[in-house]
Structure 1
Amino acid sequence: MRRLGLRGRLMLLGTAGVAATLAVGGLLLVLALKFALLRSLEDTARHTANDVAELAVAGELADPVPSGGTGVVQLVDGDGRILAASIGADRLVAVLRPADLDRARTGRTIILHGPEGTTLVVAAPAHGVGTVLVAVSARDAEQTVGALRTTLLVAFPVFLACLAAIAWRLVGATLRPVEEARARQRAFVADAAHELRSPLASLRTQLEVAAHLGEAADPEELLADVARLGRLTDDLLLLARVDERASARRDPVEVLGLVRGLRARYPTVAVTGSAQSTTGDRGQLERIVANLVDNGLRHARTQVAVDVSRDGPQVLITVTDDGPGIPAADRERVFGRFTRLDGARGRDGGGSGLGLAIVRELVAAHNGTVRLADAGPGLRAEVRLPRLGGPAETADRPARP
């Protein structure tokens, strides 16, 4: 079962379940039809026997006995001798043996099996005259049931094969995003393990060298590796929470004030714009801006600028740097996890390759969009978030500090 894969296992279980259901349903259908046809024959024969018995008691029974085309009719006395019979019926031998005749007189239906098929025989008492026997052939009913059984045996495999083919495509289409997600998860785990290995290996090397030489390890280098390891762990945990679609808080947030609140962390970054509000998690919105600013500072030649403005029903946050920029063909790829470019923009400056991936996930969690554009020179990151009705956009934009 494990070798079949998820799609194969689902198909095997589903097809087996459908096949079992069809088999049970087909069997019940055949049995129900057979019971209904035989019951109908029995009722017809008993009705004919009662009518003939009434005529015999009234002394109005003709000879040959009218059968109405339902089968063979015989009128026998207490010793089993034939007193009257329908056209085509044996006038010398009764259709039932004495033992079976006694059972039929109790109201039971006698079933006879012969070379020509099954025959049903019923009896009705003609008081003071004898017993009326009516025998009807079940051959037509058996042929009808046989035809249905053959049809089901042919049709069910064809139907099951068609259903399995359709289900195979539907299951494949349904599982395709799951398989892509599994592949992405495996790649993410592999990349995460690789990234975690570097600072751990550095820490281990420094400690082993220090132990070998009998000297204390450089605390600054150790702290730098520990800090890098901590940042990477925090980023991975944040992505895990976002992947679980944990609902973010939906509080009103004034975006320009949020950006200005980061000045202590980024004193060289120019902030301009107008008061605009959105709803969301303030900490996650700060992380979006901080990641974009960190990315800009790693690659800027002279400055990074942040601007907040209104773009129709959205709040537009732009983070611009004057660095080497990113080729248009790579601007979508850099949002992948652990993605680094080969050019000047991709030279490692302390980043883990998760910054822009976190930005995209957090922006998507706030029902927004993010894109990269050419700043000529440099790169401009544009984040658009749903705008909350708040202070109108001011005509005068604050000057750079």
Structure 2
Amino acid sequence: MRRLFGSVRAKATLGATVVVAIALVAAGTAVLLSLRSNLIVQAGTQAERTAREVAADLAGGTPYDELSLDDDQPVQVVDGSGLLVAVSEHLERISGTGVDTVRPVSPAAAGRDDHGGEDRGDDDSPEPGEIGDEVEYSEGSATIDGDGADYRFAAVEVSVEDKGDLTVYAGSPLSAEQSAVGTALTVMLIGFPLLLAVVSGVTWLVTRRALRPVEGIRTEMAAITASEDLARRVPVPATHDEVARLARTTNETLAALEASVERQRRFVADASHELRSPIASLRTQLEVGAAHPGLLDVAGAVEDTVRLQRLAADLLLLARLDAGEGPGDARFDLGALVREEAAGRTGVTADAEAVEVTGSRGQLARLLANLLDNAGRHARARVSVTLRREGSWAVLGVADDGAGVPVEERERIFERFVRLDDARSRDDGGAGLGLAIARDVALRHGGTLTVREAPGGGALFELGLPVGRSARGAGVG
């Protein structure tokens, strides 16, 4: 049960049903009130019509006992003193008119001058022979010939020459209003639940169909998680809605995750392969030295140890970069760093102006050292380093006079453990990580690292770094 009402489909169905129920109750209440109001107005109009007809007869001089009073409707004629002077036949009980009596006074008493005839000082009273324009309405009940009912009463004033001011009360039954309202209420009580059931059913089916692709995506994602097969993809529905976009985004995420895992696997495999060679070489030399001390190649062992140390340091730096290590916010002179790294290197010349950048001095020193090492391995005689400022960028160039880099290989050389065919030997200490580290460091600092042909032949590596702003604001994570 908890799982059922915790689903999106159940929540959507419940929400739609509640909203429709509130709307139906509000609309039904408004309809009932409007219907009742209209019917009450109609009953009041009918009562007023009857009262004015009786008032017209009185204004015309018709005696009380000759008034044409409808036996089916309660009618009362009250004089200025509040005495009942005329009433419809068979009226047994009445309330709501202010005069509860149903038996009129005698004609002699009703005709006395002190009961009417005199001006009571009411400025709103009609002139003799006139019927008042104002009508007062009230609701009450009456019993006629044993049948009791609710009525809408209308009170009309009339002034008669020899009778004074009279008030005519006439009632119109509210049974039609009560019957219509009751019928409408019954229809609503029966129809509303049926309509709500239809709304709930339709919403349940529509949401089920709309969420079916989501369930397919969830099922496939569960299968991918269980099988750990990142090559699988979730189904994309043939629609253009949010669910289809979710499926496409999920597949893009799976593709990126698959590529990342594959790169990680290749990295681990290549790292294991690169580490195996110097370790095996070092072990062999040490075993030979242990058996034959005179044959121990100390220089070779030291060289393998240094190469192993460099490789371990490169792998550690790559791991830190992959883990999101930031470049820092230190400001320093990149030109001074260039001159320091170029000093003492054979065949390397430096022409660097003072340019301040923000970032990690240690990471940029490693970047520059890797570029110089790469250029030194491929140069025939010389390597030149330049640093200049171009607008808001510091541009560092490292050029050699070697064979250069083929156009089709200029992006591949920045991949990890990638070395061109003519640089496969490990004797020079290269493991194919230097340029990969250099580009990663450049990107971490919000910069770029590219390679092209040098003006005098060979390869020219160009590093672009933003000047005077934090690399954290460059959008590189």
TM-score scaled by structure 2? 0.55
Deviations 1:129-156 (A, max 9, x none): xxxxxx7684322321232122123211
**Aligned partners of 1:386 and 1:36: how far apart in 2?**
61
CA separation of 1:56/1:386 partners in 2, compared to 1, >3 Å: closer, same or farther?
A: closer
- 2:462 corresponds to which residue? 382
**Aligned partners of 1:242 and 1:265: how far apart in 2?**
29
- Amino-acid identity (%): 36
- Say yes or no: does 1:68 pair with 2:179: yes
Question: Do the aligned residues in 2 keep the contact of 1:309 with 1:317 (CA within 8 Å)?
Answer: yes
Question: Do the aligned residues in 2 keep the contact of 1:324 with 1:345 (CA within 8 Å)?
Answer: no
Q: CA deviation at 1:306?
A: 1.4
- Say yes or no: does 1:161 pair with 2:272: no
**Aligned partners of 2:16 and 2:333: how far apart in 1?**
70
- The aligned amino acid for 2:351 is T
Question: Do the aligned residues in 1 keep the contact of 2:335 with 2:355 (CA within 8 Å)?
Answer: yes
- The aligned amino acid for 1:315 is A
CA separation of 1:18/1:355 partners in 2, compared to 1, >3 Å: closer, same or farther?
A: farther
Q: CA deviation at 1:31?
A: 6.5
Deviations 1:193-215 (A, max 9, x none): 22112112222333344455577
**Aligned partners of 1:277 and 1:232: how far apart in 2?**
31
CA separation of 1:141/1:346 partners in 2, compared to 1, >3 Å: closer, same or farther?
A: same
- 2:8 corresponds to which residue? 21
Deviations 1:114-143 (A, max 9, x none): xxxxxx9xxxxxxxxxxxxxx768432232
- Say yes or no: does 1:140 pair with 2:191: yes
**Aligned partners of 2:390 and 2:246: how far apart in 1?**
46
- 1:229 corresponds to which residue? 308
Q: CA deviation at 1:17?
A: 9.9
**Aligned partners of 2:324 and 2:379: how far apart in 1?**
33
Question: Do the aligned residues in 2 keep the contact of 1:306 with 1:319 (CA within 8 Å)?
Answer: yes
- Say yes or no: does 1:355 pair with 2:434: yes
The equivalences for 1:242-321 within 5 A come to 242-321=321-400
Q: Secondary structure at the match of 1:69?
A: helix
Q: CA deviation at 1:360?
A: 0.8
The equivalences for 1:17-96 within 5 A come to 20-27=7-14, 29-30=16-17, 58-59=142-143, 60-61=148-149, 66=176, 67-71=178-182
Q: Give the superposed CA RMSD.
A: 3.8
Question: Do the aligned residues in 2 keep the contact of 1:341 with 1:347 (CA within 8 Å)?
Answer: no
- Say yes or no: does 1:331 pair with 2:414: no
Deviations 1:82-112 (A, max 9, x none): xxxxxxxxxxxxxxxxxxxxxxxxxxxxxxx
Question: Do the aligned residues in 2 keep the contact of 1:292 with 1:355 (CA within 8 Å)?
Answer: yes
- 1:105 corresponds to which residue? none
- 1:116 corresponds to which residue? none
Number of equivalent positions: 308
Question: Do the aligned residues in 2 keep the contact of 1:195 with 1:352 (CA within 8 Å)?
Answer: yes
Question: Do the aligned residues in 2 keep the contact of 1:251 with 1:281 (CA within 8 Å)?
Answer: yes
CA separation of 1:18/1:367 partners in 2, compared to 1, >3 Å: closer, same or farther?
A: farther
- Say yes or no: does 1:372 pair with 2:359: no
Q: Which runs of 5+ in 1 are unaligned?
A: 1-15, 74-119, 121-134, 390-401
Q: Secondary structure at the match of 1:306?
A: strand
Deviations 1:312-361 (A, max 9, x none): 3322221111111110111111011111111x355542111011111111
**Aligned partners of 2:246 and 2:355: how far apart in 1?**
51
**Aligned partners of 2:463 and 2:293: how far apart in 1?**
53
Deviations 1:354-385 (A, max 9, x none): 11111111122222222111124211111122
CA separation of 1:38/1:210 partners in 2, compared to 1, >3 Å: closer, same or farther?
A: same
CA separation of 1:246/1:18 partners in 2, compared to 1, >3 Å: closer, same or farther?
A: farther
**Aligned partners of 2:462 and 2:440: how far apart in 1?**
14
- The aligned amino acid for 1:221 is G
**Aligned partners of 2:21 and 2:331: how far apart in 1?**
73
The equivalences for 1:70-219 within 5 A come to 70-71=181-182, 138-161=189-212, 164-211=243-290, 217-219=296-298
**Aligned partners of 2:195 and 2:206: how far apart in 1?**
16
Question: Do the aligned residues in 2 keep the contact of 1:372 with 1:382 (CA within 8 Å)?
Answer: yes
Bigger-Rg structure (1/2): 2
**Aligned partners of 2:459 and 2:403: how far apart in 1?**
8
CA separation of 1:212/1:369 partners in 2, compared to 1, >3 Å: closer, same or farther?
A: same
CA separation of 1:156/1:218 partners in 2, compared to 1, >3 Å: closer, same or farther?
A: same
**Aligned partners of 1:18 and 1:177: how far apart in 2?**
35
**Aligned partners of 2:192 and 2:394: how far apart in 1?**
78
CA separation of 1:17/1:339 partners in 2, compared to 1, >3 Å: closer, same or farther?
A: farther
TM-score scaled by structure 1? 0.65
